[in-house]
């Protein structure tokens, strides 16, 4: 069986869980608690030299980077499709996913926030301001794209890579108490995606390694 190395609160691992669930691909999970630096242990570094989550162990080798894993899933398990059919539409969905995965999330991940607090001496108010600024900056552009291309979901009426990325980023925004009122379309498509059984099952709180409520 496929093995997903992740962490319950990792946005990148959350994306992969959503995609695996939407495609009905079975998997087991191995957790690496990012708060304790478990991902930096030598055993895991042999799987993923970058020492980040997620990593996906398959019969054909280990895959890393969440968007690359999504692309592999789309090719290895093409149904149900998480990309539209036309090249232009596929590029649009990838752009929406990249906006989250490449431009918003990396600025707010744990190692960046730890550097802000430690190396740069930022206090919690400054860290919270940093988080809110970059989420709002990215969501401002993403809101326009969802208005142009969205239906029930971020692109049209079926879930795509874009939803796989938006749902975890909305979760992160809510966790850090970022005001999402200016982004009604993003909130709407996130709510629609969360209503799907496959997406609900991927929620961090429902993972075996989640902190007790």
What is the CATH number for 124?
Answer: 1.20.1050.10
Number of structural domains (the chain) is 2
The separation between CA 35 and the C-alpha centre of its own chain, rounded to angstroms, equals 18
Distances (CA, A) of 71 to 57, 80, 156: 15, 13, 19
pLDDT along the chain (213 residues), means of 10: 96 98 98 94 92 96 97 98 98 98 96 95 97 98 98 98 98 96 98 98 98 89
Q: Are residues 176 and 93 in the same domain?
A: yes
pTM, 2 dp: 0.97
**Residue ranges making up the domain that contains 93:** 87-198
Residue whose tokens read 């990593």: 55
Helix (H, G, I), strand (E, B) or coil at 14: helix
Q: Are residues 124 and 185 in the same domain?
A: yes
Q: Are residues 122 and 167 in the same domain?
A: yes
As given in the structure block, the two tokens for residue 165 are 């990325």
């Amino acid at each position: 069986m496929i093995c997903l190395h992740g962490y319950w609160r990792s946005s990148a691992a959350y994306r992969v869980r959503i995609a695996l669930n939407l495609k009905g691909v079975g998997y087991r999970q191995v957790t690496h608690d990012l708060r304790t630096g478990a991902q930096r242990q030598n055993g895991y570094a042999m799987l993923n030299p970058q020492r980040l989550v997620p990593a996906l162990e398959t019969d054909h080798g280990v895959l890393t980077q969440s968007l690359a894993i999504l692309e592999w899933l789309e090719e290895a398990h093409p149904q149900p499709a998480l990309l539209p059919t036309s090249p232009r539409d596929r590029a649009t969905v990838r752009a929406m996913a990249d906006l989250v995965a490449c431009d918003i999330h990396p600025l707010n991940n744990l190692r960046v926030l730890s550097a802000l607090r430690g190396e740069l001496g930022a206090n919690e108010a400054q860290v919270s301001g940093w988080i809110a600024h970059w989420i709002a900056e990215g969501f401002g552009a993403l809101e326009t794209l969802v208005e142009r291309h969205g239906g029930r979901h971020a692109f049209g009426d079926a879930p795509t890579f874009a939803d796989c990325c938006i749902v975890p980023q909305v979760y992160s925004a809510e966790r850090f108490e970022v005001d999402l009122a200016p982004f009604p379309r993003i909130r709407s498509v996130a709510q629609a995606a969360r209503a799907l059984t496959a997406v609900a099952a991927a929620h961090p709180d429902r993972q075996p390694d989640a902190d007790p409520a």
